[in-house]
Amino acid sequence: MRRAILFILATAVLLISPLVLAQDLSRLSEQEKEEQLKQYGKAFEKAEHDLKISIQGKPQYRLAEGVDVDVSLTNIGSEVLGAYVWNQYLQEEPSLRKDGKPVKYRTDEDVTAQRKVHTVEARERPQTIGPRDTKKLRTINLLDWYKRLEPGSYEVTLGHRFWGAGKPFKSNTLTFQVVP
């Protein structure tokens, strides 16, 4: 019974709080806004502390294929926790290096337009993760962020935001090769 109540509360806080926060803050004074943000932040602090983000992929990709990376969330705590998945361009922040040097994001018009469409169409999908359990959130293709990857050695880390105003939490580092 206690687990069910904790599950419902955690899910409600993570799914409803950002919406309530946006509505509540518009009516408050600056001082009241700061206090409200602190309270909401404390609710997310527990979930963020016990949730760890990780990425997995193949050790080698061919030059012409997509570079798919699985994004997973692990609950290292002892209680059921809730999280939500929404727009990958707002929630995920990959950082790619080739042979030790940073790779720049794509800036072409096609990808910029695609990101705007996905931002407008953002939908939240609630996820619940049991104690000491791992759940796959999504698969991202690094070519959505970067131009075609040339042959070489790469490493990528992912910054993941649990909620809109939150700082990105860093994943493990994934290393892989791109071959002709």
Residue 113 predicted with pLDDT over 50: yes
Q: What average pLDDT does this structure show over 86-106?
A: 89
Residue 122 predicted with pLDDT over 70: no
Instruction: Give the three-class secondary structure for 151.
Output: coil
Range of the domain at 41: 2-179
Percent pLDDT > 70 in the chain is: 62
* Average pLDDT of the chain, as a whole number: 76
State pLDDT tens for residues 18-63.
433 334 445 566 776 566 555 545 545 666 678 899 999 999 999 9
Residues with Cβ within 8 Å of 57's Cβ and at least 6 positions away in sequence, in order, are: 67, 68, 69, 70, 174, 176
105 touches 135 (CB < 8 A): no
177 touches 152 (CB < 8 A): yes
Q: Look at the chain and report how many structural domains it folds into.
A: 1
Could you give the C-alpha distances from 31 to 27, 34, 165, 173, in angstroms and in order?
12, 5, 18, 40
CATH number of the domain that 85 lies in?
Answer: 2.60.40.10
Residue 6 predicted with pLDDT over 50: no
